[in-house]
Structure 1
Amino acid sequence: MKKLSILLLVALPLMAAAAHKYYFSVTQADYDAQEHSLKMVTRVFYDDLEKAFQERYDASIKVDATYDQDKLDAYIQRYFDQKLIISINGKPQQLNYIGHKDEVDYVVCFIEVTGIQDLRSIAIENTLLMDVFPDQKNVIHLNAKGKKKSFLLTEGNDKAMLNFSE
């Protein structure tokens, strides 16, 4: 009986932790002064992205290698254009979606903003997956002009801002 009690004390919290899913994405954004561009890499769990696409666009979408990759890229670009807003010096910027690659548990998306002259501020609004998962957290690691800063964005607090003084 004592062994069963110990087993339950250890197993129940572990089972509860395994049943709870965390929703988050990570975006690394690096300013390249020589190329005048902001290069971003975003990692999103493939099943979360798939659920968002199925709810928003088409229930038959699969976020994996079996799905038409050109169609998938079009959906990713469309979604990111709506959910990831970049402003440079207070002006919204056009995202250049470069593509994606599949990893074991997540999709890695490559995005760039080009033509950045005289960088004074970067603002990033990231609401990826927040409409599907209210507990979604989006981490932004921003590296520009010698400054490094990380932000934890949540629903209602979905904007990161970094100002540079000359």
Structure 2
Amino acid sequence: MKKYLLILAAGLLMISFFSFKDFDFFSSMTKVDYIDGTKTLKFTTKLNTTHISQAVKIDPATAGFEAEVKKYVNNNMDVAINGAPKSLTFTGSQVNGESVWVYYEAGNVSDISSLKIKNSILIGQFPKQVNIVNITYKGTLKTLNFQKGKETSEVSY
């Protein structure tokens, strides 16, 4: 009887373990740094390579991948500084295994009293997507979270 209970417990443990194999975590991380000398907000976003390639519908190893990522980021990330919309300039991207790093910036930024960000990156493709943005401005770090239904958030300084 003990032997059968042990086999049953091991079987249940294996079933519960393998039930997590299809679990996928959908997130992006963006770091925003204010560079006082150049009056620039620099954005660095880390994305899952598979997820962004599914969203832009192009293989990351192809030449057109960076152009598609640029269009995608421009359509899914907006910034307003002190209530005024600010254009973002794409400065590049880099595929590094399971991650894609995307670089863009907003120039001619003087003092910031409020920063409003719309970040809908991958939310349309993956409803459980969570986007985290860490903003460092003049030594103060603030964190914003974005998800389906909450694609826009604002911080004050």
TM-score of the alignment, normalized to the shorter chain, above 0.5 = yes
Write out the 4+ residue segments of structure 1 that deviate beyond 6 Å after TM superposition: none
1:119 CA displacement = 1.9
String of CA shifts for 1:3-40, please: whole Å, max 9, x gaps: 32232333223222221111111111111122101111
Unaligned 5+ runs, structure 1: 55-60
Report the Cα distance in structure 2 between the residues aligned to 1:43 and 1:106, rounded to whole angstroms.
6
Percent of counterpart pairs with the same letter?
22
1:47 aligns with 2:50: yes
Q: Which amino acid aligns with 1:93?
A: K
> Is the counterpart of residue 30 in structure 1 residue 33 in structure 2?
yes
1:76 aligned partner: 69
Question: Counterpart in 1 of 2:93?
Answer: 100
Could you tell me how far apart the structure 1 residues matched to 2:29 and 2:82 are? 23
Match of 1:123 in 2: 116
Which of structures 1 and 2 has the bigger CA Rg? 2
Separation in 2, partners of 1:14, 1:122: 43
Give CA-to-partner distance per residue, 1:52-85, whole Å, 9 cap, x none: 112xxxxxx202x3x11xx222111111111011
Residue 62 of structure 1 is matched in structure 2 by 59
* Cα distance in 1 for residues equivalent to 2:98 and 2:21: 16
Opposite residue 128 of structure 1, the aligned amino acid is: I
**Secondary structure in 2 matching 1:19:** coil
- The answer to whether the aligner puts 1:157 opposite 2:146 as a matched pair is no
Bigger strand fraction: 2
2:132 matched to 1:132?
no
Note the alpha carbon deviations across 1:123-146, whole angstroms, 9 max, x for none.
111000111111111111111122
Is 1:10 the counterpart of 2:13? The answer is yes
**Distance in 2, Cα, partners of 1:85 & 1:98:** 16
Matched residues in 2 for 1:51 and 1:95: separation? 23
Which TM-score applies when normalising by structure 1? 0.86
Task: Measure how far apart 1:122 and its partner are.
Answer: 1.2
* Structure 2 residue identity aligned to 1:5: L
